[in-house]
Amino acid sequence: MTDVTLTGLTKRFGRRTVVDDLSCTIGPGVTGFLGPNGAGKTTTLRLLLGLIRPSAGAATIGGRAYAELSEPRRVVGALLEATGFHPGRTGRNHLAVLSRDEARVDAVLDVVGLTAEADRRVGRYSLGQRQRLGLAGALLDDPEVLVLDEPGNGLDPAGMAWLRSLLRDLAAQGRTIIVSSHLLAEVAQTADRVVILDAGVLRFAGPIDDQDLESAFLRLTAR
């Protein structure tokens, strides 16, 4: 059971405030991380992962900043929009660079359904296959917290259904899962709670009533 806590988290790029005094605690279960384009979702996730330095405030995972975790990949698994692959590496080698545990590499390849494609170069993968490989990378070290930025990108309808049940299974194991997405219907089906951002400001954090997520979202983010 690992909580993610944001306290007064703020990021300014030059004079532009992208994330503005954000405070909330996210516990186990699936939390949808929502907001219009440019709301600061990706920046917040990158702040949480220590890839960007906050201008003020802090983001902690189980009480510690990402950079202070001794084995970060065992605590947090991340799939970011910009997660990259060297096109000349095979899927299996991409994972082997991240973990020396070959049994785990085989296991996560199986989980995401890429075993048959594992020895092809990533440059030949479809968008959906890359997304699955990114997910495999996030799951590799069996982390308690998952941070997934638009994990449904490029997945076909069967892939979306698979992703939904995967996330529900992982949540049932007591993991804390943060999923950013634009697909409100998808979030309404999968998430226990939502956090809604707009212009870097927290608009809503709490459980959802899936009947009116869309209207609530539009109301909260109306300009």
Partner 1 sequence: MKTEWRKLRTVRGGWILLVAAQLVIVGGISGLMINRADATSLAGQQGAVAHVGIVALFSLVFGITAVAGEYRYRTITDTYLATPRRDRVIRAKLGVYTLAGAVFGLVGSAIALATTAIWLAGKGAALDVGSADLWRTVLGGVVWNAAFAAIGVGVGALITNLIGAVATALAWLALVEGIVGQLIGGARDWLPFSLGSALDRLPTVTDGPPQWQAALALAGYAVAFAAAAVATTLRRDVT
Residue numbers of the site for partner 1 (CB under 8 A)? 43, 46, 49-53, 66-67, 69, 72-73, 76, 78, 80, 82-90, 93, 96-98, 100, 137
Strands 29-34, 176-180: pairing is: parallel
At closest approach, how far in Å is the CB of 128 from partner 1? 18
What is the closest distance, in whole angstroms, from the C-beta atom of residue 102 to partner 1 in the complex? 12
Nearer to partner 1, 39 or 78 (CB): 78
Helix (H) or strand (E) holding 23: strand 16-26
Q: In the complex with partner 1, which residue's Cβ is closer, 93 or 221?
A: 93
Region of 207 on the Ramachandran plot (φ > 0 left; ψ -120 to 50 alpha; else beta): beta
Tokens of 136: 């495999």
Q: Which residue, among 68, 51, 54, 50, has the nearest Cα to 8 in the 3D structure?
A: 54
Q: Are 156 and 115 in contact (CB under 8 A)?
A: no
Of 98 and 205, nearer to partner 1 (C-beta) is 98
By C-beta, is 88 or 206 nearer to partner 1?
Answer: 88
Closer residue to partner 1, CB minimum distance, 56 or 161: 56
Instruction: Tell me how far, at minimum, the Cβ of 131 lies from partner 1, in Å.
Output: 14
Cβ pair 206, 193 in contact under 8 A: yes
- The least CB distance from residue 92 to partner 1, in Å, is 9
- What's the closest the beta carbon of residue 43 comes to partner 1, in angstroms? 8
DSSP at 141 = T
Compute the least distance from the CB of residue 169 to partner 1, in Å: 23
Q: Pick between residue 8 and residue 84 the one whose CB is nearest to partner 1.
A: 84
Backbone angles phi, psi at 146, to 5 degrees: -120, 135
Query: 54: how many CB neighbours lie within 10 A of its CB?
Result: 22
Interatomic CA distance for residues 133 and 162, integer angstroms: 14
